[in-house]
Amino acid sequence: MSTDDLRVRLEADKNTIQAATEHYDFPLTFQPWGGQNQNGDYAESILMDHRGETLAYGLPDGMGIFAEQASIRWEKATTALLKLLELHKRDEYDDCSACMSAYGDGIPYPCPTVESILEVYT
């Protein structure tokens, strides 16, 4: 996969998730089993959006915590990867535009940073 393909894939993933979740106000909040709802009543576990709208009841704690954390981190992670790829581009000498050796020489593109991203994401 080329870095251009990866950028397209990351943007597509970001757009897909945003479209699928457009009716929710992120980040999500998970209230574990046995908590109290906003009325002070005993409640089963609840997954809510940022406005307090209930999305699911009765989730196992692990699943609820995962959903809460994923809602916080997915956009940050995708944005960070896209920014890294924007910094680490091929320059006119076929080197990485952001990397340099200890001696001031260019690092051939794709640099270790881009190779690591490609390895993990593909």
Q: What is the pLDDT of residue 103?
A: 95
Distance CA 62, CA 67 (A): 9
Q: How many CB atoms lie within 10 A of CB 64?
A: 22
| 19-34 tens-digit pLDDT | 767 777 777 888 776 6
> What does the pLDDT look like over 57-109, one tens digit per residue?
777 888 888 888 887 788 788 888 889 999 999 999 999 999 999 999 999 99
Residue 13 pLDDT > 60? yes
Confidence of residue 47 (pLDDT cuts 50, 70, 90): confident
Contact 89, 82 (CB under 8 A): no
pTM, rounded to two decimals: 0.63
d(CA 37, CA 87): 46
Buried b (16+ CB within 10 A) or exposed e, 36-48: eeeeeeebebbbb
List the end-to-end C-alpha distance of the chain, in Å, as a whole number. Answer: 7
